[in-house]
Chains A and B, each alone.
Chain A
Amino acid sequence: MSDITAPAYRVIPIIPALKPGAMEGKGPFVASEKINEAIGFPGNLVDDWHDKAIAKMGELLSKYRSLKVYMDACVHCGACSDKCHYFIGTQDPKNMPVARQDLMRSVYRRYFTLPGKLFPKLVGARDLTREVLDEWYNYFNQCSECRRCSVFCPYGIDTAEVTMAAREILDSIGYGQKYSNEIIGKVHKIGNNLGLPGPALIDTLEGLEEDVKEDTGIDVKFPIDVKGAEVLLITPSADFFAEPHIDSLIGYAKVFHATGTSWTLSSMASEAGNFGMFIGNYEQLRKIALRIREAALELGVKRIVVGECGHAWRVAYSFWNTLSGVGDGASEVDRFAQMLQKQLDHRYKQPTHICEFTWDAIERNALTFDKAKNDKHIITFHDSCNVARGSRMGDFAGGQFEIPRNIIKAVANNFVEMDPNTTRERTFCCGGGGGLLTDDLLEIRVKGALPRMEALNQAKEEHGVNFMATICAICKAQFTKVLPIYGFDRRVVGGVHQLVSNAIILGDKK
């Protein structure tokens, strides 16, 4: 692994020269029998995988009309070809979004269209052979489902959905990825992706209370499983464990303290992340989301607030309403969803992002800051893909871009933007999203980080940027790992609430 080096920055960032086959290979570690069976998937590649895979594809095509449209609509115009960070970083033409879709499209044509059934060669249709299946496994695990390509596609084809469908098909025949499936097993069994049991969680939170007391002299609490609290905070388990994540957790706690909010964490739902989305599996997605409903009902909370986790916010904002009844839209006959609807306080947005919570408090003048505490930082903001292109914040278009930036500007004096071609809805993935944040995929992670590192480096050269704030646990972990490979200090990345934590003044407001 130590021989993985960063690709050179491009002199002119245009379509790179092609290197066919650059990322050919076996893909990430395949999930073991034990891991697969624990979450209800076939343990190993089934004997009749061909027929099963085609049948599953037919099922998905009839269930998800979007998938069928994506299979049919592409005209190979090329608009997406140079928009994927993995293509830019690896130069492997199969990492062009259109080529990634074509891995599935060629099989679709062979089995589901008349011309493909009759004249496969004329229409680029392919049999689903073992070689094709292995190619799927490799290249559909080189997509982070970030949806940047779909911003540029004139038809709005969403490669993320194609990747999700492919992974769903692969899982249904026992050919899943170890990293994601192992984590899904842990969230069901232990309550979070890390496998952090309740006692360890409590010990960690007590330690944080001591630390904050030592730093500030104030008793900031980190409550867990408190019945009757107003707010239930759902945050990625990395916030309890990793650096720099934990500094944002301290930031949330300080905001709750300063606003006098009664809040609690839940040991049952000690995870915001939902890897069910990454593998395109609705049942897993729902099952993971239902833990949160269960915890909310049990604790009797009035509000649900989500911490700094990109894909969790997409799931929460876009899917929780129908999945679990957090937000309006669950079925009338879904008894527990309706029960939760009655319980929650609808004067507030359900769910609320922690950035919405903090920004609202800032606007109400409920928080005070010593901005100079962040003066050692020249800060930029990395938009996380799932927040940018899969959700929103606030009650105006683009709130998911403005609100985190507004917070940074309220707590710090030095803020600059990166190249606008790499921010907001055009943001580049960190390179580790969508279930790729695993050591066995480090090469693609390092290469996929190239466009973001180029933009950061430019901001560093032009403005002296030394801190890149973000609101996603995956982004934080990914950058901590790849920044040093690009010659940066790993602590250049951190959370928005880490900055809030640095500057917030606790104690009685004047």
Chain B
Amino acid sequence: MANIEVDGKSYETDEEGYLVDLTTWNADVANYIAKVENIDMTEQHWEVINFLREYFEEYQIAPAVRVLTKAIGKKLGADKGTSEYLYGLFPYGPGKQACKIAGLPKPTGCV
């Protein structure tokens, strides 16, 4: 267990930097985690993060990569509904890296 400090507030994370208490997430924490991951958050990144959070709210899990690409494609145009686009935004893999920034638990298993 570890803690990250953002704007004088402390947030608990696990060994890999995922937030422990998902309800403590906010945009500042997201920006902070993104920085640690070497990602400059742009509007395009936020579109993905926001979708992840909406989906999680409903289903208590991050969406499958295919569900994510399809949703992004519908929202932002077919050219963006590809895993290439998502890997471009989140090079370590849209599943894990985007989840971490969105404050969602890490997908486990054979993924």
Say yes or no: B66 contacts A474, CB within 8 Å.
no
Find residues 57-81 in chain A having any chain B CB closer than 8 Å to their own CB. none
Stretch at the interface among B4-12, B22-30, B46-54, B103-111: B103-111
- Assuming the contacts A197-B59, A211-B70, A439-B16, asked whether A246 and B64 have C-beta atoms less than 8 A apart, the reply is yes
Say yes or no: A195 contacts B105, CB within 8 Å.
yes
CA A56 to CA B38, docked complex, whole Å: 46
Find residues 63-111 in chain B having any chain A CB closer than 8 Å to their own CB. 63-67, 70, 83, 92-93, 95-96, 105, 107-111
Contact of B107 among A194, A211, A476 (CB under 8 A): A194
Say yes or no: B108 contacts A194, CB within 8 Å.
yes
CA A222 to CA B54, docked complex, whole Å: 25
Say yes or no: B15 contacts A192, CB within 8 Å.
no
> A494 within 8 Å of B by Cβ?
no
- Assuming the contacts A29-B15, A242-B95, asked whether A203 and B108 have C-beta atoms less than 8 A apart, the reply is no
CA A211 to CA B65, docked complex, whole Å: 14
Say yes or no: B108 contacts A242, CB within 8 Å.
no
Q: CB-defined interface of A458-488 with B at 8 Å, one 1/0 digit per residue? A: 0000000000000001101100010000000
**A246 closest partner in B (C-beta):** B66
CA A193 to CA B93, docked complex, whole Å: 19
- A241: chain B residues at CB < 8 Å are 64-65, 95, 107, 109, 111
CA A200 to CA B61, docked complex, whole Å: 7
Say yes or no: A204 contacts B64, CB within 8 Å.
yes
Say yes or no: B15 contacts A243, CB within 8 Å.
no
**A179 closest partner in B (C-beta):** B108
Q: CB-defined interface of A126-145 with B at 8 Å, one 1/0 digit per residue? A: 00000000000000000000
Report the count of interface residues on B (CB-CB < 8 A): 25
Say yes or no: B70 contacts A193, CB within 8 Å.
no
Say yes or no: B66 contacts A207, CB within 8 Å.
yes
Q: CB-defined interface of A431-444 with B at 8 Å, one 1/0 digit per residue? A: 00000010110000
Shortest C-beta distance, A386 to chain B (Å), equals 12
Say yes or no: B64 contacts A473, CB within 8 Å.
no
Say yes or no: B15 contacts A440, CB within 8 Å.
yes
Shortest C-beta distance, A334 to chain B (Å), equals 29
The B contact surface, by secondary structure, is: loop
The winner among B1, B58, B65, B109 for most chain A CB atoms within 10 A is: B109
> A240 within 8 Å of B by Cβ?
yes
> A103 within 8 Å of B by Cβ?
no
- A208: chain B residues at CB < 8 Å are 66
CA A197 to CA B67, docked complex, whole Å: 15
- B63: chain A residues at CB < 8 Å are 200, 204
- Assuming the contacts A29-B15, A440-B15, A440-B16, asked whether A207 and B67 have C-beta atoms less than 8 A apart, the reply is yes
**B65 closest partner in A (C-beta):** A243
> B44 within 8 Å of A by Cβ?
no
Give 9 new A-B contacts, CB below 8 A, not counting A195-B108, A476-B110: A186-B109, A194-B111, A197-B59, A207-B70, A241-B111, A245-B111, A246-B65, A440-B15, A477-B110
- B67: chain A residues at CB < 8 Å are 203-204, 207
> A429 within 8 Å of B by Cβ?
no
> A116 within 8 Å of B by Cβ?
no
- A197: chain B residues at CB < 8 Å are 59-61
**A204 closest partner in B (C-beta):** B64
- Assuming the contacts A204-B64, A207-B70, A439-B16, asked whether A199 and B59 have C-beta atoms less than 8 A apart, the reply is yes
Say yes or no: B110 contacts A437, CB within 8 Å.
yes
Say yes or no: A192 contacts B109, CB within 8 Å.
yes
CA A309 to CA B58, docked complex, whole Å: 29
- B92: chain A residues at CB < 8 Å are 1
Shortest C-beta distance, B87 to chain A (Å), equals 8
Find residues 200-224 in chain A having any chain B CB closer than 8 Å to their own CB. 200, 203-204, 207-208, 211
The winner among B92, B107, B110 for most chain A CB atoms within 10 A is: B110
Contact of A193 among B65, B96, B109 (CB under 8 A): B109
**B60 closest partner in A (C-beta):** A197
Closest 9 CB pairs of A and B: A193-B109, A473-B110, A200-B59, A242-B111, A238-B110, A194-B109, A241-B64, A474-B110, A200-B61
Pick 8 A–B contacts, CB within 8 A, sort by A: A29-B16, A186-B109, A236-B109, A241-B65, A243-B65, A243-B66, A473-B110, A481-B93
Contact of B108 among A2, A186, A200, A243 (CB under 8 A): A186
- B38: chain A residues at CB < 8 Å are 2
Shortest C-beta distance, B86 to chain A (Å), equals 10
- Assuming the contacts A200-B59, A207-B70, A440-B15, asked whether A240 and B64 have C-beta atoms less than 8 A apart, the reply is yes
- A195: chain B residues at CB < 8 Å are 61, 105, 107-109
Q: CB-defined interface of A231-271 with B at 8 Å, one 1/0 digit per residue? A: 00000111011110110000000000000000000000001
> A273 within 8 Å of B by Cβ?
yes
- Assuming the contacts A183-B108, A439-B96, asked whether A242 and B59 have C-beta atoms less than 8 A apart, the reply is no
- A304: chain B residues at CB < 8 Å are none
Q: CB-defined interface of A327-349 with B at 8 Å, one 1/0 digit per residue? A: 00000000000000000000000
